Amino acid sequence: MAEIPDRKNMTTADILAFCRAEVASAQSSAPEAEPAAEASADEEAWEVAEESAQAEAPAAPAKKPTSTKDILAAARASAAGGGDKPAEKASAKPPTAKKGAPAAKPTSTKDILAAARASAAGGGDAPAAAAKPAAAKKKQQAAAPAAAGSGEKPSVKEMLAAFREERSAPAVAEDVPEGEKRPPKMPVPPRKPKKKPLPEPVAQDRRAFLAALLVIPSAFAAAWVMLATTTAAWGLALLRFALPNVLVEPPSKFKIGPPGDYDFGTVSTKWKAERGIWVVHTDRYKGKNVIVALSTVCTHLGCTPNWLEGEQKFKCPCHGSGFYVDGINFEGPAPRPLERHGIAVAADGMLEVDKSIKFQEEMGQWEDAKSYVEV
């Protein structure tokens, strides 16, 4: 086997040349007995070519054909046009081909890698190794950490790049053959946004319900009370309007007792508060011994004078009018004497006063016999 040069400094052309040289040397030295070595060399060469192509891409942007596809196309072209190379390439064809069948030209990366793996496992058990590409893959994966342990420790960046490459590998590796359509992707139904569960307003509803139970009946009760009160007030007002507006007063005629109860020369104030009269027994007016009923209303502005026993006169507290015992005014603003009410001796001998009748001295009415009782 030829010595593997520094991989990172290899170009695509170097890698291809190295692959061809490896294949040619393997066939010339051990054409039949070392298919495994050839296959492993091919596989390693292809891996080196892929890695170099990927590593070379950012370092040498001027060189365009650095992808795996380009490398494979170049390898196929060289294999088809190399003159003495088709025989060697045909020996590295995939093991899936039947024994004795004409060698087929590799058409895809998968086929080429499968052929390389089959060649690597080929010595005496080539079909079994070809039937198990997964084992070869595991071997390849196991070789990677071994190589890393040998001295080339991958950095984190490289490991992340390798992980991303591995993750994206199926999509890249799934090469759709020409003429076939890529299977349509299954439409992913849009996710429905989760509805936020509404909080259970049980406690709040219960409180609101209880408050309504307390407030609403109270409001209705207040309304009913107000309506009933208003209706009752209007009913009472209507009833009072229907009743007659009568001033209840004591009867105008009333008995004050026998004439002997009133001594001569005295003024009785017994009926002043209850009936509004003074009973006077006197002979001061024109010399007649009579009993009269004098009104207690001042003839000035209607006040109630007081009988002053010591001064023997009626004195009005409002403006100072003064009246003699027989009722004649003599001082103050009173313009006329006090008035008399009708008085008579009833059938039972009692004095009977009639307040509905008035007798005025200035009009000569005191001469009327109904205005006095002569004793």
Q: Which of 48, 256, 293, 334 binds ligand FES (CB under 6 A)?
A: 334
349 backbone φψ class: left, alpha, beta (φ>0; ψ -120 to 50): left
Q: How many CB atoms lie within 10 A of CB 100?
A: 5
Whole-number minimum distance, CB 317 to ligand FES, in Å?
Answer: 8
CA atoms within 13 A of residue 192's CA, in its CB half-sphere:
3
Residues 268-307 that bind ligand FES (CB under 6 A): 298, 300-301, 303
* Residues 247-266 contacting ligand FES, CB under 6 A: none
- Please report whether residue 117 would count as binding ligand FES according to CB under 6 A: no
- Give the residue ranges of DSSP H helices in the chain: 12-29, 35-59, 68-81, 86-91, 109-131, 133-149, 156-173, 202-242, 272-275
Q: Which of 135, 129, 127 is nearest to 97 (CA)?
A: 127
Stretch that binds ligand FES, among 23-31, 331-339, 340-348, 366-374 (CB under 6 A): 331-339
Residue 10 or 316 having the CB closest to ligand FES: 316
Q: Is 308 in the site for ligand FES (CB under 6 A)?
A: no
Tell me which residue of 339, 335, 314 sits closest to 324, measured CA to CA: 314
Candidates 90-98, 147-155, 255-263, 332-340: pick the segment binding ligand FES (CB under 6 A): 332-340
Report if residue 86 touches ligand FES, rule: CB under 6 A. no
Q: How far is the CB of 266 from ligand FES (least distance, A)?
A: 23
Q: Which residue has the tokens 């069948």?
A: 101
Kindly state whether residue 350 participates in binding ligand FES, applying the rule CB under 6 A: no
329 binds ligand FES (CB under 6 A): no
Min dist CB 318 to ligand FES, Å, is 4
The residue (of 131 and 318) whose beta carbon lies closer to ligand FES is 318
CA distance 179 to 181: 7
Q: Does 343 bind ligand FES (CB under 6 A)?
A: no
Provide the 10 A C-beta neighbour count for residue 134.
9
- Identify the three-state secondary structure at position 280: strand
- Residues in contact with ligand FES by CB under 6 A are 298, 300-301, 303, 316, 318-321, 332-334
